[in-house]
Amino acid sequence: MINKQVQDMAAALDGLDDGAVILAGGFGDAGVPNDLLHALSGLHLKNLTLVGNGAISERIGHGKLIDSGAVSTYIASFPCAPHAKLFDPGTPTADVALEIVPQGTLAERIRAAGAGIPGFFTKTSAGTPLGEGKETREFSGALHVFETAIKADIALIKAKRADRWGNLVYAKACRNFNPIMAMAAKTTIVQVEEIVELGGIDPELVVTPGIFVDRIVVIETPFTAQDLS
Amino acid sequence: MINKQVQDMAAALDGLDDGAVILAGGFGDAGVPNDLLHALSGLHLKNLTLVGNGAISERIGHGKLIDSGAVSTYIASFPCAPHAKLFDPGTPTADVALEIVPQGTLAERIRAAGAGIPGFFTKTSAGTPLGEGKETREFSGALHVFETAIKADIALIKAKRADRWGNLVYAKACRNFNPIMAMAAKTTIVQVEEIVELGGIDPELVVTPGIFVDRIVVIETPFTAQDLS
Amino acid sequence: MTGGLSRSQIAWRAAQDIHEGATVNLGVGLPLGIPNHIPADKEVVFHSENGLLGMGPPAAEDEEDWELINAGTRPTTLLPGGSFFHHADSFAMIRGGHIDICALGAFQVSANGDLANWDLGDGKRIPTVGGAMDLAVGAKRVFVLTEHNARDGAPKIVERCSLPLTGLACVDRIFTDLAVIDVTDRGLSVTEHLETISFEELQNRTGASLEQSSDWRPLISPALDGE
Amino acid sequence: MTGGLSRSQIAWRAAQDIHEGATVNLGVGLPLGIPNHIPADKEVVFHSENGLLGMGPPAAEDEEDWELINAGTRPTTLLPGGSFFHHADSFAMIRGGHIDICALGAFQVSANGDLANWDLGDGKRIPTVGGAMDLAVGAKRVFVLTEHNARDGAPKIVERCSLPLTGLACVDRIFTDLAVIDVTDRGLSVTEHLETISFEELQNRTGASLEQSSDWRPLISPALDGE
C-alpha cells in the first residue's frame, strides 16, 4: 500500500544534509511551511541554498531558517520585508549571499526544473542590472535573456489537505509557489492540516498530483505570523 | 457587464480569415470542439494552419476541417488515425503540409506561447529525424534541441461549463490540450455545454481562468464520434 | 508644491482609462487608489500576482482571512467569478501578455519609456524586485502613476534613467499630478495638462523633451473627498 | 518460431520489475498486458499521457465513458486517488523525470540503448510520433517489451538502429520472449534467458554483442491462461 504519511517532523526531515538546495513555498505568510522550516532550523545544518519568494521576519518561516545560520545563499525575489532584521551589515546574516530574481522568472525557473526544461528565454530583466552577464537573444525585435532551471534536493511545501498517495489541495492564495516547487525537487516534503481517505479529494480538484510528493506530515494547526504578536 | 457569451456559431467565428493559425483542442475525440470545427469547415476559408494532436477521421473534428480543403498545414503529433482517409496520395488532402511534433514538445510549445516564453530547450527529439536542423545544446551531458513557441490567431476550445467571465471547467480526460491552447491565441473561442451564473464555479476548481477566454458559445449536446455510427 | 492633482485625483484620472472588462494589475503606492474610482457598475477584473483573478476590495477589519492575501500581503477578498492559481500560471498571465493594463509607481521614466521603480541604487536597502520586472515588460499596456517631481523638485520624467532599470521601453502612459503623457515612437506626447500651468512650465519641470499632442485637452479632475 | 515466452508471459516478466508505489506509463502493444500481472494488493499508479494519473482497467463494455479515455483513445477508468490534468502538466511529469517506469514497444533497440519505435521509414504510412519521443527520454527507467526477432527472423536488438530513432541511449532494460537484457555502460548484459536455449543461440539471434551478467539466472515464467 502506498502511504506517504510520516509520523513526525524527524521522519519528515530525515536525511537532509549540509549543502542541500531547498525550495520553500509561500508568499508573505500564506502557504509558508513554517513548521517544517522551524523544525529544519533546529537541525543546525550548514551551507544550505534556500529558494523562495522572500522572508517576512527573522522570527518566522524562511527568515527564521536564515537567521538560524543554516543558509549561505538565498535566492529570492523579495529577500526581506522592510522591518525584518536580516542581511543588513551588523546582523548575523550579513554574509548570506543574495541572488535577486524577478518573481515571474523565479517561478518559471522552478517550473522549468519540474518540467524537464533546462533553460528558456524571457524578456523579463533584459537590459536591467538583473539581466547583466546573461546570454541574450532577440525575438520579435525585443531583447530576451536566457534563464536556467533551478533544480533542488528538497522542496518544503504547505498544503491544506492530502490523501495517502500525496494528492494535494491548497487554500485560496496559499498555492503561490507550492505547486511548482513540489515538482522541482528530488524529495518533496509537505505539511498538511489533514489527511483524508483515498478518493476523498475530487480528481478534478487535485492541484498537485501525488506523483510530485514524497513525504507528508500532519500539522493540524500550522504556525502562522498571527502567532508571533 | 462582462459577458463573453455569443448567440450563435456565426458570432463565435466572426472575423476568422484566410491564412489564420488555429489551435484546436482535443485528444482522440475527447475535448475536441467538433461543433466549432464543423461550423468553421462551412466557412470555406483557405490556407489555414491547424495545430492539434491529431485527426481521428475525415468525417469529424480536425479531420473534417482538413478534408474541407481549408487547411494547408497541419502541425500535429499523431496527424491521423490509421483508418482516416487523409493525407494519403490520391486523397484530396494529399497536399496538406504536415509538421510532425512530439506530443510533449507540442504541448510545451503551445504553453510557452501562452506564457510569453519565445523558446526553450528540451531533450525530446534530440538525435532523431524530428530534431534535424534544430539548434542543439548540451545540458548535463545530454543533447537538447531548441524549440520555439507556437503562437496562434485563434484557439478553438471545448469545455464542460463556463460563466460569463469565461472561467472554464472540463470533464475528466477532456482537458488535454484545451487549457494550454486557451492561453496561446489572440482570440480564444470556446464551446461549452452550459453557462452557469457568475460565482457558480468554485474558484478553487477553475481550470481556465476567464482572462484567457474571448467568446463562448453554448452547444448543449456536442457532436461526438459516437454520432458518426 | 503646486496646485496639482492630489494622489486620489491621479488615481481617479488613471481609472478613467480603464475600460470595462479589462484585466488589471496594480503595483503598490499610487496605483492602489485606482479601484476606489471604478464605478460599481463597471466590471474590471483585478489580478494579483500571488495567484488571484477577480480580486475584490481589502478585507474588512473583522473579516480578515490570512489565507486570502493580495500581493502586498494584506487580507483581501475575491469576487464572484474569481479564481485561484499558482505562481507559474499567474506569471504566464503577466509574461504572456494577458494582463490588459498594469499600473505601476515609478522612481524615473525615460523619454523612450524605460522604467526605474525597484532600486534606489543607494545601497541603503536590500534591493527587492518582486514582480515589477515581469509586470513592466509583460502587460499589454503599462501605466505609470507618479508625482511629476520628487520631493526635492527633481524631475521623475527624464531623458535617460540614472537609477537601475526595471524594464526597457515598457511604459505606455504616465499620469502625474500635472499631466497625462504618452510614450510614443517620436517621444513624450502631452495629451493633457492642468490649465493652471503653461506648457512651458510643464516642460521646465520635466527632465525630457515634451511635445503637445494634437488632441490635447485640459487635465480636469473632480474634487475628491478625503484629501 | 521457438518455445519462447508468450506475449502474456513477456508482460508478466516485466510486471515483476515494477515495484509497489511506482508511477508507470505504458505504450501500446505488449506493454498494455502489464497491468494484468500486477497483483491486486500491489499499488501501482498508472499514468496516461492524455491527462490521467491513477488510471484503472479499461471500462466495461456497458460502462464506457467517452470523456474518460486512455492514450489509446479507448474508454478507461480512474481509481480512487486518481487525478486529471492538462497536456503541459502531463508532459511535465514525463519530461521532468517523474515517471518511474515507461514500458514501450520497439522496432529496434541498439547496443547503447537507442530506440526506434515510431516510424518504419518505408514511406507507406504517415509517420505518427505521439508521445513516444517524450516518454523515451523523460522517464526514469525505460523498459522495452518486444519479440526478440521480427517475423522474418531479423534481430530487433542491433548494433545500430537502421530505422528512424525515437531517442538516444534511453532504454534501460529489454524484455523479450527469450531473455531479459540490461543496457549498461559496457553494452548489453543478459541477466536472464530461457534455459531451453544456449547463450550462443541467443547471441546468434541478436544483432549486437551480448555479455552474460554475473548475476545471471534462468528466465522462468508461469504458464498463463488465455494464450
D113: which 3 cell numbers? 540503448
The per-residue pLDDT of chain B, averaged, comes to 97
Judged by a CB distance cut-off of 8 A, whether residue B115 touches chain C is yes
Contact B175 D164 (CB under 8 A): no
CA-CA distances (angstroms) from residue B22 to A140, B18, B19, C226? 20, 11, 9, 51
User: Is B139 part of any domain?
Assistant: no
Contact A28 C130 (CB under 8 A): no
Alpha carbons D66 and A73: distance in angstroms, whole number: 51
Q: What is the pLDDT of residue C226?
A: 55
Quote the minimal CA–CA distance from D123 to chain A in Å: 32
Judged by a CB distance cut-off of 8 A, whether residue B115 touches chain A is yes
C-beta of residue B123 within 8 angstroms of C-beta of residue B98: no
C-beta of residue C67 within 8 angstroms of C-beta of residue A171: yes
Contact B211 C91 (CB under 8 A): no
Alpha carbons B1 and B163: distance in angstroms, whole number: 13
C92: which 3 cell numbers? 504566464
Ranges of chain D whose pLDDT falls below 70 = 1-2, 225-227
Residue B213 has pLDDT above 70, yes or no: yes
C-beta of residue D158 within 8 angstroms of C-beta of residue D53: no
User: Is A178 part of any domain?
Assistant: yes
Three-point CA angle D148, D28, D174, nearest 5°: 30
Chains in contact with chain C (at least 3 beta-carbon pairs closer than 8 A): A, B
Cell numbers 493652471 label which residue?
A: C196
Q: What is the pLDDT of residue D1?
A: 44
CA-CA distances (angstroms) from residue B218 to B31, B40, B170, B224, C61? 15, 16, 14, 15, 41
User: Is B3 part of any domain?
Assistant: no
Judged by a CB distance cut-off of 8 A, whether residue A121 touches chain B is yes
**% pLDDT > 90, chain C:** 92
Residue of chain A whose Cα is closest to the Cα of B116: A122
Contact D21 A211 (CB under 8 A): no
Q: Which of C83, C99, C134 should be substituted to probe chain B, the one whose Cβ sees the most B Cβ atoms within 10 Å?
A: C83
User: Is A123 part of any domain?
Assistant: no
Least confident stretch, B100-104, B127-131, C119-123: C119-123
Q: With touching defined as 3+ CB pairs under 8 A, do chains B and A touch?
A: yes
Contact B108 A121 (CB under 8 A): no
Window A:144-173, CB contacts with C under 8 Å: 170-173
Here the CATH number for the domain that contains residue B110 is 3.40.1080.10
Catalytic status, residue C49: yes
User: Is B128 part of any domain?
Assistant: no
> What residues in A contact D95, CB-CB < 8 Å?
115-117
Alpha carbons C107 and C117: distance in angstroms, whole number: 5
Interface of C with B (CB under 8 A): 20-21, 23, 41, 43, 45, 47, 53-54, 78, 80-85, 88, 91-99, 138
**Residue A93: exposure state from Cβ atoms within 10 A (0-12, 13-18, ≥19):** buried
CA-CA distances (angstroms) from residue A32 to A132, A157, B147, C168? 31, 7, 35, 33
> If phi over 0 gives left and psi between -120 and 50 gives alpha, with beta otherwise, what is residue C197?
beta
User: Is C206 part of any domain?
Assistant: yes
Nearest CB partner across the interface for B77, out of D51, D94, D130: D130
Here the CATH number for the domain that contains residue C119 is 3.40.1080.10
Its sign, for the CA torsion C155, C157, C159, C164, is positive
Nearest CB partner across the interface for A119, out of B112, B121, B170: B121
Q: With touching defined as 3+ CB pairs under 8 A, do chains C and B touch?
A: yes
Catalytic residue among C49, C63, C64, C227: C49
Cell numbers 542541500 label which residue?
A: A20
Judged by a CB distance cut-off of 8 A, whether residue A196 touches chain C is no
A36 secondary structure, DSSP code: H
User: Is B4 part of any domain?
Assistant: no
Alpha carbons B27 and B55: distance in angstroms, whole number: 9
A88: which 3 cell numbers? 543588513
Please report the ipTM that was assigned to this predicted complex.
0.97
The torsion of the CA quartet D165, D167, D169, D174, rounded to 10 degrees, works out to: -80
Q: What is the pLDDT of residue D97?
A: 98
Alpha carbons C118 and C101: distance in angstroms, whole number: 19
Q: What is the pLDDT of residue D2?
A: 52
Nearest CB partner across the interface for C67, out of A126, A127, A174: A174
Chain B and chain C share a number of CB contacts under 8 A equal to 64
C-beta of residue D68 within 8 angstroms of C-beta of residue B81: no
The range of the structural domain enclosing residue A168 comes to 9-118+150-221
Alpha carbons D31 and D45: distance in angstroms, whole number: 15
Residue C227 has pLDDT above 60, yes or no: no
Mean pLDDT calculated for residue range B38-43? 98
Nearest CB partner across the interface for A77, out of C68, C130, C137: C130
> What residues in C contact B203, CB-CB < 8 Å?
54, 78, 82-84
User: Is A47 part of any domain?
Assistant: yes
Alpha carbons A95 and A47: distance in angstroms, whole number: 12
D6 secondary structure, DSSP code: -
C-beta of residue D106 within 8 angstroms of C-beta of residue D27: no
The pLDDT confidence band at residue C1, using thresholds 50, 70 and 90, is: very low
Residue of chain D whose Cα is closest to the Cα of A151: D96
C224: which 3 cell numbers? 475628491
User: Is C51 part of any domain?
Assistant: yes
Least confident stretch, A127-136, B119-128, D125-134: D125-134
B47: which 3 cell numbers? 490556407
Nearest CB partner across the interface for C23, out of B113, B115, B211: B211
User: Is C38 part of any domain?
Assistant: yes
Nearest CB partner across the interface for A167, out of D81, D91, D138: D81
Quote the minimal CA–CA distance from C127 to chain B in Å: 25
Cell numbers 523612450 label which residue?
A: C112
Question: What number of other Cβ atoms are within 10 A of residue C169's Cβ?
Answer: 16
Alpha carbons B63 and A143: distance in angstroms, whole number: 39
Higher pLDDT, B90 or C218: C218
> What residues in A contact C66, CB-CB < 8 Å?
29-30, 224-226
Which H or E element spans position D11?
Answer: helix D7-15
Alpha carbons D222 and D175: distance in angstroms, whole number: 15
Alpha carbons B153 and B211: distance in angstroms, whole number: 16
C-beta of residue D132 within 8 angstroms of C-beta of residue D190: no
Contact D87 B122 (CB under 8 A): no
Judged by a CB distance cut-off of 8 A, whether residue B116 touches chain A is yes
> What residues in A contact B172, CB-CB < 8 Å?
203-204
User: Is C99 part of any domain?
Assistant: yes
On whether the pTM is more than 0.95, the answer is yes
> What residues in B contact D78, CB-CB < 8 Å?
172
Cell numbers 470542439 label which residue?
A: B33
Alpha carbons C112 and B55: distance in angstroms, whole number: 48
Judged by a CB distance cut-off of 8 A, whether residue B198 touches chain C is yes
C-beta of residue C178 within 8 angstroms of C-beta of residue C197: yes
Which residue stretches of C76-216 are H helix? 87-95, 132-138, 199-204
Nearest CB partner across the interface for D131, out of B81, B104, B173: B104
Alpha carbons C224 and C221: distance in angstroms, whole number: 8
The per-residue pLDDT of chain A, averaged, comes to 97
The pLDDT confidence band at residue C127, using thresholds 50, 70 and 90, is: confident
The distance from CA D14 to its chain's CA centroid, rounded to whole angstroms, is 8
Overall domain count for chain D? 1
Contact A226 C66 (CB under 8 A): yes
Alpha carbons D117 and D109: distance in angstroms, whole number: 9
SS (H, E, C) C8-75: HHHHHHHHCCCCCCCEEEECCCHHHHHHHHCCCCCCCEEEECCCEEEECCCCCHHHCCCCCECCCCCE
Alpha carbons B199 and C188: distance in angstroms, whole number: 43
Residue of chain A whose Cα is closest to the Cα of D79: A199
Quote the minimal CA–CA distance from D79 to chain A in Å: 8
User: Is A32 part of any domain?
Assistant: yes
Contact B163 C21 (CB under 8 A): no
Q: What is the pLDDT of residue D91?
A: 98
Higher pLDDT, C123 or B158: B158
